[in-house]
Chains A and B, each alone.
Chain A
């Protein structure tokens, strides 16, 4: 560009070239000191959808969108009328009513030492970026609202499920005190048992909640977890309960390994198997099947029982916090499947159930290999020169 100007050597030509280039790039307008439009270029007409005839002689307010507070333009006028260049993002309104955003520089013009003559405004269309920004903001807002609602629900559930055993404990303790005062001893043993059970339930709820809150927060040891081995160890731990319920367990083989937090994989299997033992053991010949397969970086595992199954309208509910399909005391604390789902989500996967009444249930959990920063580096190295190219 500069070289080209030197070749021409003619100042008038230089200005023509610069103006030509500027008109190709930017939205340009000049106004007098009162803001009346003196000239506009083609890009100005194109974006504002007014013709040059419609614009020239009009006040610049003709494209005011009303989206900026008065103070915004007061500040702008204060700057340019005192001879300073102003720069900012303005939302304008086109002839057809649509809004557009322009990154704007307004330069006051004057001869050296002379009074202000008018203003030149050079603008670039940034509507798309602005819309993308607004969209992103809306998405973030929606996500925040969702999280807030989730948190509210969480606090709500927790306060209910912790308060409930307290009502029981204080209730039966109060009853005991009354009975003791009246010399009635026959219900003492029963009441004591109820109090102990309620306190135990409370402890379980607290333990489970603590566990749930740890998922995704602690960064446990990430490694290659052999699912066959994990299943074996979970089954070993639960062997007594499984045997007592007369359940036959079939473990598919081979099962893949997954790069994950060992403890979390173990927890997923443990919760699903406990669930299957509990709800599946109603079958005449109860069977639990465990299996897993890998597709790309995603491992999907399943635990299937042949119990009474779950009606479709409850398929989502079972993963909710403190949601049980059986009455209190009959099932667990209602946290197990919520933990499973959260673990799946922290491994960029999901947890769901396939089931219908009378047909058993298949719980499936997909998890993607965790990629630690260390292993990403290792991968880049293993793939050859990639690392060098980035440097």
Chain B
């Protein structure tokens, strides 16, 4: 990876689905500290996430995210339901979905992978590790990962 490659990296659009304002703020501030992602939209729950992705209502002008960071425990419609709906939608299924959750329960991982989650990350309790994770995550998905071609 050379500096010129880095500079060529186009801005990556993250969609963060997170009902905990503090956790959202942690992700936001670590990402902005490392300047790996300059675009991050945040929605509060599963229903909002689907409205955002389908550009319904107040999300009519929302961009197509390059990567979705999805919390598991969400009010109304939880992360598993959101994931299943995304992966069942031909227009949305190519968007990489990363579970970002406090749950390391095997049952949750089984369900998530059976719904074709692209990655499953457990929020580290320790802040240094938390920021390492978010930094690596940002780098991986915005610089290293080759995104799917835009849908026709």
A194 x B22 contact (CB < 8 A): yes
Minimum CB distance partner of B48 in chain A: A327
B123 touches A (CB below 8 Å): yes
Number of interface residues of B (CB under 8 A): 25
Confirm or deny: A160 has a beta carbon within 8 angstroms of a beta carbon on chain B. yes
| B118 CB, nearest partner CB in chain A, Å | 22
Which residues in A have some Cβ–Cβ distance to B below 8 Å?
A: 152, 156, 159-161, 163-164, 166-168, 170-175, 194, 197-198, 314, 322-329, 331
Contact with A along B61-97 (1 / 0, CB 8 A): 0000000000001011000000000000000000000
The 6 closest A-B pairs by CB, nearest first: A174-B127, A327-B19, A168-B22, A171-B26, A327-B44, A328-B20
Q: Contact between A329 and B123 (Cβ–Cβ < 8 Å)?
A: no
CA distance A161 to B45 in the complex (A): 16
Report whether over half of chain A's contact residues are helix, strand or loop; otherwise say mixed.
helix
Select which of B21, B73, B107, B130 is within 8 A of A171 by beta carbon: B130
Given contact pairs A164-B20, A328-B20, A175 touches B127 in the complex (Cβ within 8 A): yes
Determine whether B25 belongs to the interface, using a CB cutoff of 8 Å to chain A.
yes
CB distance from B41 to the nearest CB of A (A): 16
Q: Distance in Å from the Cβ of A156 to the closest Cβ of chain B? A: 6
Contact with A along B95-121 (1 / 0, CB 8 A): 000000011010100000000000000
Q: How many A-B residue pairs have CB under 8 A?
A: 71
- For the complex formed, measure the closest distance between the CB of B42 and the CB atoms of chain A, giving whole angstroms: 11
B contacts, CB < 8 Å to A: 19-23, 25-26, 29, 44-45, 73, 75-76, 102-103, 105, 107, 123-128, 130-131
Contact of A156 among B26, B76, B107 (CB under 8 A): B107
Q: Which residues of chain A are within 8 angstroms of B124 by Cβ–Cβ distance?
A: 167
Nearest residue, chain A, Cβ from B73:
A160
Chain A residues closer than 8 Å to B126, beta-carbon distance = 170, 174
Q: Are A327 and B127 interface neighbours, CB within 8 A?
A: no
Cα distance, A314 to B20, chains bound together (Å): 20
Query: Do A328 and B21 form a contact, CB below 8 Å, given A156-B107, A314-B76?
Result: yes
Q: How far is the CA of A160 from the CA of B26 in the complex (A)?
A: 18
Q: How far is the CB of B130 from chain A (nearest CB, A)?
A: 6
Question: Shortest beta-carbon distance, A32 to chain B, in Å?
Answer: 60
Contact, CB under 8 Å: A170 / B73: no
Contact A168 B128, beta carbon cutoff 8 Å:
no
Q: Are A170 and B19 neighbours in the complex by a CB distance under 8 Å?
A: no
Q: Which residue of A lies closest to B72 (CB)?
A: A160
Q: Which residues of A contact B105 (CB under 8 A)?
A: 156, 159
Supposing A156-B103, A168-B26 touch, asked if A329 and B127 sit within 8 A by C-beta, the answer is no
- Of the residues B75, B102, B123, B128, contact of A174 by C-beta under 8 Å: B128
Q: Contact between B21 and A327 (Cβ–Cβ < 8 Å)?
A: yes
Q: Is the CB of A325 within 8 A of B76?
A: yes
Question: How far is it, in angstroms, between the C-alpha of A198 and the C-alpha of B44 when the chains are bound?
Answer: 18
Name the residue among B21, B128, B131 with the largest chain A CB count within 10 angstroms.
B21
- How distant is the Cα of A161 from the Cα of B20 in the complex, in angstroms? 11
Q: Specify which chain B residues have a CB less than 8 angstroms from the CB of A194 in the assembled complex.
A: 22, 25
Given A322-B73, A328-B19: A166 in contact with B125 (beta carbons within 8 A): yes
Which of A152, A164, A173, A325 has the most C-beta atoms of chain B within 10 angstroms of its own C-beta?
A164
Report the bound CA distance from A327 to B20 in whole Å: 7
Q: Report the bound CA distance from A328 to B72 in whole Å.
A: 13
A172 adjacent to B107 (CB under 8 Å): no
The one of B20, B107, B131 that contacts A329, using a Cβ cutoff of 8 Å:
B20
**Complex-state Cα separation, A96 to B45, whole angstroms:** 60
Cα–Cα, bound, A64→B45 (Å): 62
Nearest chain A CB to B59 CB, angstrom units: 17
A168 CB contact (under 8 Å) in B23, B45, B107: B23
Q: Determine how close the nearest CB of chain A comes to the CB of B125; give it in whole angstroms.
A: 6
> A172 touching B75 by the CB < 8 A rule?
no
Contacts of A329 in B (CB 8 A): 20-21
Q: How far is the CA of A197 from the CA of B22 in the complex (A)?
A: 10
Contact A325 B20 (CB under 8 A): no
Cβ-defined contact, B22 with A163, below 8 A? no
Contact sample, A vs B, 10 pairs, CB 8 Å cutoff: A159-B105, A160-B102, A160-B103, A171-B127, A171-B130, A174-B128, A175-B127, A323-B75, A327-B44, A328-B19
**CB closest residue in chain B, given A194:** B22
CB distance from A158 to the nearest CB of B (A): 12
Report chain A residues within 8 Å CB of B131. Answer: 174
CA distance A172 to B27 in the complex (A): 11
With A and B bound together, what is the CA distance between A164 and B20 in angstroms?
A: 9
Which residues of A lie under 8 Å from residue B20 when comparing CB positions?
164, 168, 327-329
* B75 and A327 form a contact (CB under 8 A): yes
| Complex interface: chain A residues within 8 A of B22 (CB) | 168, 171-172, 194, 197-198
Q: Which residues of B contact A322 (CB under 8 A)?
A: 73
